[in-house]
Amino acid sequence: MIEPGATIGIIGGGQLGRMLSIAAARLGYKTHIYDPHEASCADDVAAYRTRAAFESVEAIRRFGESVDVATYEFENLPSQALQALGEKLRPGVRSLEIAQDRATEKQFIEQCQARVAPWRAVSSLEDVEAAVAELGLPLVLKTRRYGYDGKGQAWIRSEDEIGSGWKAIGEEPAVAERGVAFAAEFSVILARWADGRHAFWHSPENAHVEGILRRSTVPCSHVVGPQVGDARKAALRIAETLGHVGVLTVEFFASREGPVVNEIAPRVHNSGHWTIEGAVTSQFEQHIRAICDLPPGSTELSARGAVMNNLIGPDIESWVQLVADPSLHVHIYGKGEARPDRKMGHTTRVTRA
Ligand code: ADP
Ligand code: MG
């Protein structure tokens, strides 16, 4: 067990690192943020920081020596450099390697006997043409690496869009994936301990606009509810096969044929932000508990439900009205410039009565 007073290293200094840090502090831990940027929004709430490139094996090694356990808050990290952290890294490098390449990820999910949308790996215009012929339309191209919030994606809805779609994703190695006519989207968020103990939160139903999460609602609707059981089984098989320690999120489409896995995130997730006020133990605290091997906290709802709304780009300008609304918990990430697609904060309304 890693006891309070110890230092937890967090690779990545975005809002997830910030909220992990706050949760760690509540339990008496110090955190050390590793991030290449001049200033990161997690720095403001952490005891220590290292500013260095993610690729720097030497800097990662030194960081590893200065912390008692290390974790990461996003996926686009060079796994080779992270090897320098050895056993101190939780979750391990395997969870990261699988999740950071969409082709590897889909293969892995299929090996875990979970369903994904029909897909092909593509690396040329001819491959995309063949994928359209085999999978049908509409389909979506997604770069294998570095995509997030709908970036690195292009929809192909007719044959005329094959060339422009391939260009739009920068002619990068990609997956071509059939469009799923889903009734709703939802996620399974779980935490797993090294000895196999695990806990699920209630599954949020998630609404995306242009590939970015806008809203998560708990409890989910009757459209999603009947699919959560199968989805949890699939998510747990994925976590166990990875030997995952910490929080793992699996995004699903609720389709007529049952749950279809969209993607996995080996970390706390935007669709779990509602757990800060809406659950007895938040995803952030539970991740700290799991990687430090403390006992699991309760994942029960703290009220009837919760609705989390993201504040994206200019949404943050209405912060004055939002903080004046007594029914909202307001989270402002302290990120500075409100670029159009940037996640600047979120609000959670906990539903009582
Ligand atoms: P990101 O890593 O950017 O979150 P996702 O693969 O989760 O990428 O895609 C973002 C969103 O785009 C999804 O939540 C969903 O709304 C939509 N989307 C992605 N793939 C498909 C698909 N095959 N069929 C239908 N919608 C999709
Ligand atoms: Mg996603």
User: CA-to-CA distance for 271 and 135, rounded, in angstroms?
Assistant: 30
Q: How far is CA 152 from CA 103, 175, 255, 281, 351, in A?
A: 14, 11, 24, 34, 36
User: CA-to-CA distance for 334 and 332, rounded, in angstroms?
Assistant: 6
Ligand 1 near 149 CB (within 6 A)? yes
Closest ligand to the CA of 99: 1
What residue type is 243 in one-letter code? G
> 53 CA to middle of ligand 2, Å?
25
**What pLDDT shows up at residue 331?**
98
The minimum-distance atom of ligand 1 relative to the CA of 213 is 14
List of the chain residues with pLDDT < 70: none
> 150 CA to middle of ligand 2, Å?
7
Ligand 1 near 105 CB (within 6 A)? no
> 183 CA to middle of ligand 1, Å?
14
Q: In what order do the strands lie in the sheet with 139-143?
A: 119-122, 174-178, 139-143, 153-156
pLDDT tens-digit map of 157-207 = 999 999 999 999 999 999 999 999 999 999 999 999 999 999 999 999 999
> 200 CA to middle of ligand 1, Å?
23
User: CA-to-CA distance for 86 and 102, rounded, in angstroms?
Assistant: 25
Ligand 1 near 208 CB (within 6 A)? yes
Ligand 1 near 9 CB (within 6 A)? no
Residue closest via CA to ligand 1's atom 2 equals 148
The minimum-distance atom of ligand 1 relative to the CA of 148 is 3
- CB of 178 within 8 A of CB of 117? yes
Ligand 1 near 342 CB (within 6 A)? no
- CB of 12 within 8 A of CB of 34? yes
- CB of 284 within 8 A of CB of 278? no
> Which burial class, exposed, middle or buried, applies to 94 when counting CB atoms under 10 A from its CB (0-12, 13-18, 19+)?
middle
Ligand 1 near 179 CB (within 6 A)? yes
What residue type is 260 in one-letter code? V
> 65 CA to middle of ligand 1, Å?
38
Q: How far is CA 73 from CA 13, 18, 90, 123, 209, in A?
A: 8, 9, 11, 29, 23
The minimum-distance atom of ligand 1 relative to the CA of 177 is 23
- CB of 276 within 8 A of CB of 284? yes
Residue 130 CA, distance from chain mean position: 31
Closest ligand to the CA of 212: 1
> 211 CA to middle of ligand 1, Å?
6
**What pLDDT shows up at residue 245?**
98
Residue closest via CA to ligand 1's atom 10 equals 211
> 174 CA to middle of ligand 1, Å?
14
User: CA-to-CA distance for 176 and 237, rounded, in angstroms?
Assistant: 25
Residue closest via CA to ligand 1's atom 23 equals 179
> 323 CA to middle of ligand 1, Å?
31
Closest ligand to the CA of 254: 1
> 204 CA to middle of ligand 2, Å?
14
